[in-house]
Each structure stands twice: as structure tokens, then as C-alpha cells.
Structure 1
Amino acid sequence: MIAHAHLHVSDYEASKAFYTKVLATLGYTNNMEFGQAAGFFDGKNTDLWVLKEDVVPTHLAFEAKSKEEVRAFYETALAEGATDNGGPGYREDYWAGYYAAFVIDPDGHNIEAAYWDYEKAGEKGPE
């Protein structure tokens, strides 16, 4: 289990503002800040930190609770300056019920929101 991850950004204030708005669509809040490091809380853990460091583009996927959250994530990210990298939809080549959207953030990170649609896949899902 991963406790937290760091996402390196080139413009701390702009990235903190971007992620505060975009991650709010998935239930996150910016709950901590130390210097140029902002922590984002999902209701259980401060599991993402955005901090000023040399940027190495990476991929991060966040779990959404619904297809509507995936769409809200995507639309908010685009409105806040992200670039489309795959709009909301099923990715059946991943799994029959994999519903996701991808954006490229201002630092070149591939950021995803994913929802596991067990009903579409014909499965019960985790119990």
C-alpha cells in the first residue's frame, strides 16, 4: 500500500492552485503546506504532495467514485490549463469496466482519473 507520493512541479503556486481545483472533483482538499510543498487529503490520508523540485514527467492515476467524477475531473483540468490526453470513456483494452480520462498537466505529467464500473464488466466488484 502506498502511503503518499510526491509530484514535482516547476511553478509551485500555479500547480498548487491547479491541483486544489482539479482534485476537489475527486473529494481531495489541500490540508497541509510546508514551504513549497502542499499536501492533499482524500478523507483518509494526505497521500499526494505537490512540491517545487526538478520535474521528471510521470503518470499518476486517481480513483474516482463514479463516471461523473471522472468527467468533472477532466473538464475542470482542461478549464485550469491541462491538455487533453484521452477524454472520458471506457478503455476496454484495459478491462471491460475501466472508465477513465487522461490529461497532461502544465508540467507534462500524465494525470488520470479512473472508475471501475463492475456492472458494465458483468462483475460483482470487491466485497
Structure 2
Amino acid sequence: MIDHITFGITDFDRSTAFYDAAFAPLGVRRLFDVPTEHTDGARVTGYGDERPWFWLAEQNATRGTLHVALTATSREAVDAFHAAALMAGGTDNGAPGLRPHYHPNYYGAFVLDPDGHNIEAVFHGG
């Protein structure tokens, strides 16, 4: 199951104005801004209803145009995803571990696929 998705954008203010307006009738709103110290200075914001699941991120030299996160059933599954992806030719983009700047139990791992897309497995449990 897809947990969340991030699109790379070139104009943060233009894109957020668009999505603020377009999503409002659907009950989807901006819920979270990632502190820039965790994003190499890029502005990143998350939209959703109860939790953010649609993200926008300024593109920069280290951030591509697409990020997809898949829901894992455990921390061990996140670890296994990361190991399998690296063995299959992926590139490490964030070892398995806690990401408390999202929430205290956010446990994720990131790899770049052969085309440079950022693929993540995430477990939200304790």
C-alpha cells in the first residue's frame, strides 16, 4: 500500500497556492512543514486530511522529482526492504532508522531506484 507520495516542484509558492485552493473542496489541507535542517534547505510541505500523505518538495541537487513511500508491517520489514533494494542495485538514500522530526515512531529507510527515484519503506508503529 502507498503510504505517501512526494512530487518535486520548481516554484514552492506557486505550487502551494495551487494545491491549497484545489484541495480545499476535498477537505485536504496543508498539515506539516518539514524543518529545512532536515531537507538540505529545501522547503517541503505535506497535505492530507488526518495525516500528510501528499507532499511537495522543492527540487535541488540532491532531491529528484518523485518519492514514493510504501507502508511496512514492522521495523524488520523496513530493514529487509532496504537490504533487498541495495542487493538489487539500488543506492542508499537513508539507512533504516527513526525519523522523529516526522513523529516519534516514524521508522523508515530510503533507496534510489536505478532511475534515481526515491523509494521508501515506512513503519509508523512503536
Q: Normalising by structure 1, what TM-score? A: 0.48
Q: Which has the higher strand share?
A: 2
Q: TM-score, normalised on structure 2?
A: 0.49
